[in-house]
Amino acid sequence: MLDQTTLDRLRSASVAEGHHLVDGAWIAASDGGRMEVISPLDGTILTTIAAGTTQDANSACAAARRAFDDGRWSGLAPSARKAVLLKWAALIEAHAEELSVLGVRDNGTEIAMALKAEPGSAAATIRYYAEAIDKHYGQIAPTAHGTLGLIHPEPVGVVAAIVPWNFPLMIGAWKLGPALAAGCTVVLKPAETASLSLIRLAQLGQEAGLPDGVLNLVTGAGAVVGEALSLSQDVDVVTFTGSGSVGRRLMHNAAASNLKRVYLELGGKSPNIVFADAPDLNEAATVSAAGIFRNSGQVCVAGSRLLVERSIHDSFVDKLERHARTTVVGDPLDPATQAGAINSLRQLEQNLSFVEEARLAGRTVLGGSRILTETGGYFMEPTIVTGVNPADRLAQEEVFGPVLAVIAFDTEEEAIAIANGTKFGLASGVWTADLSRAHRMVSRIRAGVVHVNTYGGADLTVPLGGVGQSGNGHDKSLHALDKFLNLKTAWIKL
Ligand code: NAD
């Protein structure tokens, strides 16, 4: 953990203006446009970043195309790419404190979480794929005598990586690690409200020896920069984490341009199901509360729908209420804070509107208000809404805030029906001591991840991806490499 002196120094350090990285040079937007970065900690202007234009995005894609086609990266031995990536991972670790605080200052995550989830995870991810790539072999097909079928994995080409604001370094690295290890070149598009730590990450990548044009970065509005990336003829793959509406747009643009591959990691309304026979209901309450309130619920896999067996509903909700009341919400740069700021005023207002709608529909709301602070930052109380109907908007749509919808159920069958009754399928949780029931639930819940007697914390070795409208690709694990490798067949007559 950071000592207070370092924290105070980093908290008040001036933040450099952000620029695009194109072909190894840090440059301004083509029309000189700038975008303000508002700190969610106090609503002040932290700095400005380049407001990318369509031309900027196209220049970055062209640079990535050239860098891919001339083989300056894809043509290296995997062990040579690995050496650069390992150096990058080491540099990220060496700058972990600076990166964490910088990220917190524009996205609002509590520092304890940022230290755990951001640079540490980014470095580990880049190292994981660096270590994997020189052990990744092609295959020889089991053909008849007289022919040889060779299957060569080859880098796909230029990757546009478009990432959200909640964990920019961790999610950014989930894209950058496997794409760069595979030999692809990348144009990275950070979210408007979380660009700073990724800009610094890219600077460290240059320092580590990534050749010019291999990693490019364009900041600015998604509707301009992201739109241009998804329409680019130079881009072969879009890997995206963010909202369903943008995901839909990306697929549309891929179809309208060059049929680039589009991998989507989208939102969720993840059910966390607590049966009366859970092995430890106190632990279930502690972990379930953390699973929705940490990072103020701005977590894609947040267990935002609590399905609880009716016989324990009241006592379990009491336990959760205690956690909600005692969760320390506030200054993200105080190490004791358990839930930091809401990323933007727009997101805060969206969270509050969900709660207001539930209140008007007669649901019981604990918490639910904006927390007013002297600094004027964006903070919200951990909120529990009980008596929610599975058809309510609160039970069907992602809030992406610290709002837990609680629904009672009577039978396993009913729990499964409610759990599967949304358009999403990202994560889920089951709390039970019955081994057979646990396995039944794992097989019947429609989700990319089913946690059993825990929630969250699945590490890099396992894939993360959704089903239904939660997405179509996987980040993490060796499977993530598949998105960035083509399989080329050589069919040889001997
Ligand atoms: P968002 O969709 O608004 O933005 C994500 C990114 O897309 C940003 O970089 C943004 O600038 C860009 N973008 C916006 N409009 C675009 C357009 N027209 N074309 C191309 N790009 C565009 O999402 P957000 O608000 O930043 O993030 C929150 C969402 O991300 C939530 O739905 C959350 O569940 C999801 N998320 C999913 C995962 C996962 O792994 N499945 C992880 C984290 C967050």
Residue 59: HSE in the Cβ half-sphere, 13 Å Cα cutoff: 19
- The response to whether residue 425 sits with its C-beta less than 6 Å from ligand 1 reads no
- The response to whether residue 219 sits with its C-beta less than 6 Å from ligand 1 reads no
Look up residue 38 and give its amino acid: I
Predicted confidence pLDDT, tens digits, the chain (494 residues): 678 888 889 888 999 999 999 999 999 999 999 999 999 999 999 999 999 999 999 999 999 999 999 999 999 999 999 999 999 999 999 999 999 999 999 999 999 999 989 999 999 999 999 999 999 999 999 999 999 999 999 999 999 999 999 999 999 999 999 999 999 999 999 999 999 999 999 999 999 999 999 999 999 999 999 999 999 999 999 999 999 999 999 999 999 999 999 999 999 999 999 999 999 999 999 999 999 999 999 999 999 999 999 999 999 999 999 999 999 999 999 999 999 999 999 999 999 999 999 999 999 999 999 998 888 899 999 999 999 999 999 999 999 999 999 999 999 999 999 999 999 999 999 999 999 999 999 999 999 999 999 999 999 999 999 999 999 999 999 999 999 999 999 999 99
Told to judge if 61 belongs to the known catalytic residues of this protein, a careful annotator would answer no
Question: Where does residue 321 rank: exposed (0-12), middle (13-18), buried (19+ CB within 10 A)?
Answer: middle
Domain 271-459 in CATH 3.40.309.10? The answer is yes
- Centre of ligand 1 from the C-alpha of residue 142, in Å: 43
- Centre of ligand 1 from the C-alpha of residue 243, in Å: 4
- The response to whether residue 232 sits with its C-beta less than 6 Å from ligand 1 reads no
| pTM for this entry | 0.96
- The response to whether residue 480 sits with its C-beta less than 6 Å from ligand 1 reads no
Cα separation, 19 vs 190, whole angstroms = 12
Give the relative orientation of helices 313-326 and 281-293 as an angle to the nearest 10 degrees.
Answer: 50
Set 97, 184, 300, 381: catalytic member: 300
Cβ count within 10 A of residue 437: 15
Cα separation, 403 vs 366, whole angstroms = 10
- The response to whether residue 242 sits with its C-beta less than 6 Å from ligand 1 reads yes
Set 110, 265, 381, 412: catalytic member: 265
Told to judge if 300 belongs to the known catalytic residues of this protein, a careful annotator would answer yes
Cβ count within 10 A of residue 5: 8
Query: Which of ligand 1's atoms lies nearest the C-alpha of 227?
Result: 19
Architecture of domain 4-266+471-491: 3-Layer(aba) Sandwich (3.40)
What residue segments make up the domains of the chain, in order of their start?
A: 4-266+471-491, 271-459
Q: Which of 125, 166, 470 to mutate to test the pocket of ligand 1 (most atoms within 8 A of CB)?
A: 166
Look up residue 178 and give its amino acid: P
